[in-house]
Every structure is written in C-alpha cells, then in structure tokens.
Amino acid sequence: MEKGGITYPEGFSASGLHCGIKSGKGRDLSLIFSEAPCTAAGTFTTNKFRSYSLLWTLRNIGNPVHAVLVNSGNANTCNGAENCRHTSILAEELSASLGIKPGSVLIASTGIIGRPLPYKKILSAIPALKKKLHSKNHAEAAIGIMTTDTFPKEIQAETGIKGRHKEVCIGGMTKGAGMINPCMATMLGFITTDAVIEKMALRSALKEAVEDSFNMITVDNDTSTNDMVVCLANGMAGNRKIRSGTEDYEKFSASLKSACINLAKMIASDGEGAGKLIEVRVKGGWCGKDCRRVAKKIAGSSLVKSTVYGCWPNWGRVLAAAGSASARIDAGSIEVSMCGIKVYNGNPVKYDEAKLRRLMKGKKIVIGVDLKKGKFSATAWGCDLTEEYVKINKE
C-alpha cells in the first residue's frame, strides 16, 4: 500500500498491532510518528472526568511533538491514581526507544472506563511498534484505534498551498463517536499536515474546523471522558509560513475543515446499529449558535432518529425537537423540508406523502430548516436509532 491517511503529508509514518489489551485478536495499539518536530493543537472533552492519557496530552500539547501513542480497549479513566504514573512510564519508554523527549509524546486512549491500564503489555509492544513504523502502514494505525467501528476512517487532501517542492497536504484518521458506543465511549481524531504554520494559526484553524465537524455530530447526549482531536504540523512541505488572516490561512483552514467534516460524517454513518446518515441543514438563523443548537437538537432527537429509521415523515417530531432548542424560533415562520420536499411553512403543507416515504428509504436523509430570522447557517449529522443499537449497548 502507498502512503495515505495520516501518513499522506510528508514525513509521517505509522504502525498498528495487537498487544493484548483487547481479549480477541483485534489491533489495539497505534503509533503516529513524525521525523521532524511538530507544532501541535488539540481540542478536548468537556467532561469533568478525564482520562489519564488525555491529561498527559493536555500537559504536553504545547511542546514540539514527535509521536502520538493510541490504545483502544481501555479508557485509562477513573481507574486509580497509579495509572497516572503508568501513563508517564509509557511516554518515557516510548520516547527512549524513539530517541526523542518524553514531552514530545502525546497519548490517547479509548475503551472501558474504570479498569487498570495494562501498561506492561503496551511496554512490551513498543519495539515491534517502532519496527513497523512506515508511511504505508496508515491503515494499520487507523484499525488499531477502532473499537466497535465497522470500518477504518481515513482521509487525505491537498490544500492548494505551494510548498518548496510539493503542495501542502493534510491527512487524518478517526474513530467512532463517543456515546454511540457501549463501554468504548470515545471519539478520537488525528490530523497530520506537512504545512509550516504558526502555532496560533493552527490552533484557531483546528478550533473552527472541529466546531463545524466533530462537534456537529451527535449520537446521543453524553460527552465521553476521552474525546480528543489533535492536529500535528511538521513543516516538511517547506511552504511560506501560514499566518492568521492571510489567503494561505483561508486555504489551509478550508481544507482542514473539509477533511474534518468528511471524517465526522464517516463517524455518524457508522453509528452503532445505524443504517442511515441524517444531515440536518439549518439556515436563516439569527446567529450561528442558534443554528447549531437547532441542528444538533434535531439530529440528536430519539424521536426524529426513530422516524428516519421507520421511513415515516413525521415532521411534527422535527418541529418539536427544534422548538425545544434554546434558540430564536417562530412557529409561524419556520420552514421544514425532508428529502427536499417542503412539509411545513408556518402551517402544514400538502405534499406527496407516498413519494416522501419512498425517498426516506435512501441511505442519506436530509432535513432542511429555514428559521427565517437572519443569515446564519449550520449543518449537523446523526444516524437513525435501531433495535440493533439497543442490542449492542445492553451487552
């Protein structure tokens, strides 16, 4: 295999293997490595309880970063204070093996909360993990971070920004949305780029991108203890340094956002037990926040999700969900469409129900809302709610 995903930008390699955290044979440990030190930015869960892995990463994200170690199968959260020390030991051993500083290693975990991290298994796997590092092993790494995902999620893209010898590139991988999962309650996202970029510019670009992508997918209303999205920029494209407010920044920012949106949609469409992707497009909002709140409320409503599953155009549920959002909304002016067919325009609209039912049998259901209050818009993504979701989550 060629390079791609997180190894698509210049200078990144990756590996993934089974070290024994998961009871089966599935991969459970991944490594991302950059030969040049990276400027790093991250966004992290707002949950009060946070993984020791996440806390380590929070402490070191400001450093020049060389490596990200990710395990699946264990969240390293609420599992006793000694696991804080074990997390440091992992970073120390990995950095010694790679010939870098401990502070240049980031760590992420996803899996069951409350169990001791089997850090010795991880330690024993470090030599193999290092040996396998290669730009062609991006998919292995993407598989190593999976929990109940049904497919690995990778992306690669060009930015249109010229570097010294090549165009600036972006790569990425991600895994299943937090609370779609039973015990494996985490959304992780890793983005790589060979751009030369100012730290503050990278931070603001990532923040904006995450706001319109990973933060706009919803499976239920919980927030995991381990969620994080990290972006590493190693500067190997040799482009003119990207600074906030420049045209290059706009290009980079747009590419990053597009990559994040694509990864986020993969997560939503791969929700546990899900068969359909729900896309809620809200426009005409008095402000962006209003739009985001309405869109997420609709995409996250169990009743809307059930209606989509049943291919039943019950637009009353869409209205009820919208009306329960904390936003400026008028029942007399709001417009709602499902699969492109207008169903409400301040009053119920007569429409071809048989046709809409047929359209709702598709794999992607678009719900459109026009708040008729202003010029802002937002899009959220979710999935349908199925019996399979319950089956998976009770076990």
Residues in the site for a copy of itself, rule: CB under 8 A?
A: 46-50, 75, 77-81, 112-115, 179, 182-183, 185, 220-225, 300-303, 306-307, 309-310, 312, 314-317, 319-325, 327, 329-331, 344, 347-348, 385-387, 389-391, 393-395
Which residue lies nearer to a copy of itself by CB, 183 or 359? 183
CB of 329 vs a copy of itself, minimal distance in Å: 5
Nearest to 6 by CA among 172, 229, 255, 135: 172
Packing angle, helices 247-269 and 199-211, rounded to 10? 40
What value does the CA radius of gyration of the chain take, rounded to a whole number of Å? 22
Provide the CB-side half-sphere exposure for 185 (13 A, CA).
Answer: 21
Bridge partners (DSSP) of residue 229 are 43, 189
| Spatial contact of 273 and 148, defined as CB atoms under 8 Å apart | no
Bridge partners (DSSP) of residue 379 are 281
CB of 290 vs a copy of itself, minimal distance in Å: 11
Instruction: Report which DSSP code applies to 324.
Output: T
Which residue lies nearer to a copy of itself by CB, 105 or 343? 343
CB of 352 vs a copy of itself, minimal distance in Å: 16
3-state secondary structure of 86: helix
Which residue lies nearer to a copy of itself by CB, 75 or 122? 75
CB of 172 vs a copy of itself, minimal distance in Å: 25
Active-site entry in 148, 186, 193, 386:
186
Nearest to 120 by CA among 201, 15, 20, 266: 20
Nearest to 263 by CA among 362, 365, 186, 188: 188
CB of 200 vs a copy of itself, minimal distance in Å: 29
CB of 338 vs a copy of itself, minimal distance in Å: 12
Which residue lies nearer to a copy of itself by CB, 6 or 113? 113
3-state secondary structure of 241: coil
Instruction: Report which DSSP code applies to 245.
Output: T
**Pairing, β 153-162 against β 341-345:** unpaired
Which residue lies nearer to a copy of itself by CB, 150 or 221? 221
Instruction: Please return the burial class of 11, using the count of CB atoms within 10 Å of its CB with bins 0-12, 13-18 and 19+.
Output: middle
Count of all residues that appear for the chain in the document: 395
- Binning the chain into helix, strand and coil, the percentages to the nearest 5 are 35, 30, 35
Which residue lies nearer to a copy of itself by CB, 143 or 304? 304
43 is catalytic: no
CB of 110 vs a copy of itself, minimal distance in Å: 12
Residue type, 369: V
Which residue lies nearer to a copy of itself by CB, 289 or 391? 391
Catalytic residues: 186
